Structure 1
Amino acid sequence: MPLAIWSSSVDIDHHQRFILLCMLRLVLLGGIINPSDAQTTTHSYPDPGYRFLGVYGGGDDRHFDYHLGKLSLVDTFPEKAAWWAGVQASRAGRDDAHRHDVLIVFCGERDADLETCKGRLDAWLAAEKDCSTYPEMIPAICLGEENTGGRIEVLDGLARHVREKYGIPVFQWYTDPFPPDPNLTADGWIWDSYGW
């Protein structure tokens, strides 16, 4: 039976309504989510498609193709050289699917000012004379989680900073049913849909 795109009849079942609402949301999102004047200075983040399975947070990624890890930053990044050596070693042995990993980074985006947050990101990402870093090995980052519409100027400033200085694609956290801000710089969106 073909899917009715619009009908006022009462015979549309729940499944068809759900599909219709999903399609409408995708159309609306496509219309309001602007690549936000996205600069083209990042390395690419390939579309994972639908055949890969990812895990969020602290799940064991041996059973999944890729994962969304978490990293909390403060004003300094202790053990920086060891951390980056670990990234370099783990990326060398990773299969193709792990090129979709997204690191959720907490840097004070909810309560600190923009400059403090930038400093925390720089403490992690910037190379130092005795410590090389490899930002190109970070497939993408997401600035915090469950950002429900506040602090847009901080999230946008951080996204632009990371993209321009380190070339890392930046995802933003979209919490459904709150609308995303079309002025927020984002290379992709983590869609949190448990708000329904």
Structure 2
Amino acid sequence: MPILSKLAIQTQLLAMAAILGATTCGATEAEIGRAVTIEKTVVGSIAGVKKPIAQDDAVFKNEVVETGVESLARLKFLDNTLLFVGPSSTVKLDSFVYNPDNTASRIVLNASKGAFRFVSGNSDHRAYEIRTPYGSLGTSGTTLGFVIANGRMIAVLKQGAMVVCPHARLTASRAHCIPVTQPDTAVIVTRSGARGPVPKSSDMRDFGDICGSICKRLFPQ
């Protein structure tokens, strides 16, 4: 067989493999919701296989969602929980266990960097956990924004209640969690410890601050 023909066949096979990889990404993982709003570049990856996420695409358990610069995503899960993902952000849709009525007995999000807004859905508040490199967030009828950047995590309560639990290595006690019930109140967690609850101040940038006018247009309060 001519060398050019072999190269052509190999190229076609590689292209087919790429297509199959893209179409089967998520096929072995459970669908947990959909991307209801996408702005610019948003990519999902499962087991190292990456694919663009477009508006109305399904999202899957164990999928890592990454946004580009000036890019945004709004994800809606089966229990009507909303996760707004700001620019240059990364989050893993880690653990989702749904009941037959589409409420969840377990939802775990693993956010590693960027800006996020979370609005809890129809599930019991004990089902929700948001993990970050600095600590975990629990919610109760909650709307909250949080940012992971510049060596700290800042969580700002907008509605309902939240509890911030710094990692055990940051505190004298593993049980040292900080409850927050006052809107526009924040907790700041760094490698050296946690501070709060404190009133949100101008140096505490949350999801809305980072997204600015584009968030107001896409994600009205």
Length-normalised TM-score, structure 2: 0.25
Q: Which has the higher contact order (CA 8 A, sep 6+)?
A: 1
Flag the structure with higher strand content: 2
Give the number of the structure whose residues are more often helix, by fraction: 1
Give the TM-score normalised by structure 1: 0.26
